[in-house]
Amino acid sequence: MARRLGGRCTRSSVSEQQITPTGFGLAFGSVMVVGSALVAGAIPASAGAVRLGVVAASLAGFAALPITAAAAAGTGLLAFLVFDGFLVNSLGQLSWHGTADGLRLLTLAVAVAAGFIAGVAYRAASRWLRWRRWMLWISEEARQAVGRDDEQPAKPQGVGLHTRGLTHG
């Protein structure tokens, strides 16, 4: 655990990424899976694709959070098991329905991958923009340390023509 000095973490920096540990990610993911299954359970069983869409959308949103890839994959597997056990079958009974379950598993895997990639890309762009603002601030501070921007430079008294290669003779 990082020590705190003056309200800031000693290990934090502009380029450092804060990621939720795998165990906490799986715990939060399991709560999210149960919540999305409850919402999908309110949809009639005849609209199986809509039910799968609700679970897949919430899974993609979860995978976009700053979690580890293992937590995202584990939550995706848990989402498939809950979907198959409680929304396709009843009372948590797991069974394999061939191609239909393969397509459900593929849908949830694509949702996890797309959400994870989108989250990583967003955090990378955010870090780059934060770094860029920090560099601009540093350069502005350096420029102000040398001389103030708002002061106009004094004009030289005798302005002469300076040309290259011409000799006065």
Instruction: Kindly tell me the sign of the dihedral angle through the C-alpha atoms of 126, 71, 100, 44.
Output: negative
Model pTM score: 0.72
Give me the count of residues in the chain: 169
Rounded alpha-carbon distances, angstroms, from residue 90 to 1, 45, 87, 109: 44, 11, 7, 23
Q: Tell me the two tokens of residue 34.
A: 């149960």
| Residue 4 DSSP label | E
Does residue 63 contact residue 112 with C-beta atoms inside 8 Å?
A: yes
Q: pLDDT at position 141, please?
A: 85
Provide the terminal-to-terminal Cα distance of the chain, rounded to the nearest Å.
Answer: 77
Q: pLDDT at position 92, please?
A: 87
Q: φ and ψ at 161, to 5 degrees?
A: -90, 120
pLDDT means over runs of 10, the chain (169 residues): 44 64 95 97 95 97 95 97 94 92 97 97 94 91 73 56 56
Q: pLDDT at position 54, please?
A: 97
Q: What is the dihedral of CA 117, 121, 124, 129, to 10 degrees?
A: -170
